[in-house]
Amino acid sequence: MPDSRTLRLQRAMASLVLDEDEAALEADPGRVARRQGLSWADQCSFREQGAGMMTYRELARMSLVEPLETMFPVLKALLVEADTWNACIQAFLEARVVKSGHYRDIAPAFLGWLAASGWGQDRWPFLLELAHAEMLEVVVARFPDSDPPMGLHADPGPEDLLVLDAATQIVSYSHAVHRVTEAAPFPEARPTHLMAFRTEGGEARLMELTPATAALLVRAQTGPLGEVASSLNLPDLGPIFTLLRDFYRKGAIAGFQTSS
């Protein structure tokens, strides 16, 4: 069945909002209708209402770009400085990757597109890490609430596995992307390990970890704490357990589980 006129009109509107280069559109708003094979009458309608059509372009773009400006202020500052922010946004919009009807999913869609397309990363090898770090705390803060897993205890033992809180994320970057600001958006190149977690009150916190602690937190989710610690050359479990109890109190660790 050929696509209906209603669908082609909607596609023309989407193209008008997302695709066209603005100058060409200003010159002839009817071209998006023509490209969808719409009738002369429909093309004329787009032309006659050029101003209203351009308002839709402005409004819809604002809806899609505002959450990116809020979520990625440092990334934006960097790209504005290099005069490439608009090109980045245009490439993102044309890729049509915003699938979800949840407004909060627009920024993650942008991050996913950045990862998949590699956009700008030849020039700025840290760009993806920077965007990831800018979003990290928000993702953790808004992670869907769920009941904690059953059967965990509060005190770690050498045979135990550790269970992170569902919202907690351990990330490793090759740049210190958590230290950048809008005024100084270029991160130093050095391995950086972070833990982002949510407090009992539901607020996100960021904590820098040593490489060994980061490795321990990742590996002790699948191997007994004692074994993992000794494989990391951390023979003294006392200070490790003190640290883990502290992470448990802060809400980053959900608890400990006897390994079977």
Q: Which residues in this chain contact other proteins in the complex, by CB under 8 A? A: 4-7, 9-14, 17-18, 33, 38-39, 41-42, 44-46, 49, 51-53, 55-56, 59-60, 63-64, 96-104, 106, 141-146, 167, 198, 201-204
- Provide CB contacts within 8 A for 167, sequence distance 6+: 140, 143, 197, 198
C-beta of 98 vs 163, nearer to other proteins: 98
CB of 166 to other proteins, least distance (A): 9
Decide whether 51 or 183 has the Cβ nearer to other proteins: 51
Nearest distance from C-beta of residue 167 to other proteins, angstroms: 7
Q: Which is nearer to other proteins, 95 or 232 (CB)?
A: 95
Nearer to other proteins, 33 or 136 (CB): 33
Please report how close the Cβ of residue 60 comes to other proteins at its closest, in angstroms.
Answer: 4
CB of 130 to other proteins, least distance (A): 23
The answer to whether the beta carbons of residues 79 and 50 sit under 8 Å apart is: no
Q: Which residue type, as a one-letter code, is found at position 131?
A: A
Which residues touch 78 (CB under 8 Å, ≥6 apart)? 124, 127, 130, 185, 186
Nearer to other proteins, 94 or 188 (CB): 94
Distances (CA, A) of 37 to 3, 30, 135: 11, 11, 41
- State the minimum distance, in angstroms, from the CB of residue 158 to other proteins: 33
Amino acid at residue number 162: L
The residue among 70 and 230 lying less far from other proteins, judged by its C-beta, is 70
In angstroms, rounded to a whole number, what is the distance separating the alpha carbons of residues 140 and 125? 25
- Pairwise CA distance, residues 21 & 25, whole Å: 6
CA proximity to 50, closest of 75, 72, 74, 20: 20
Closest contact distance (angstroms) between CB of 154 and other proteins is 23
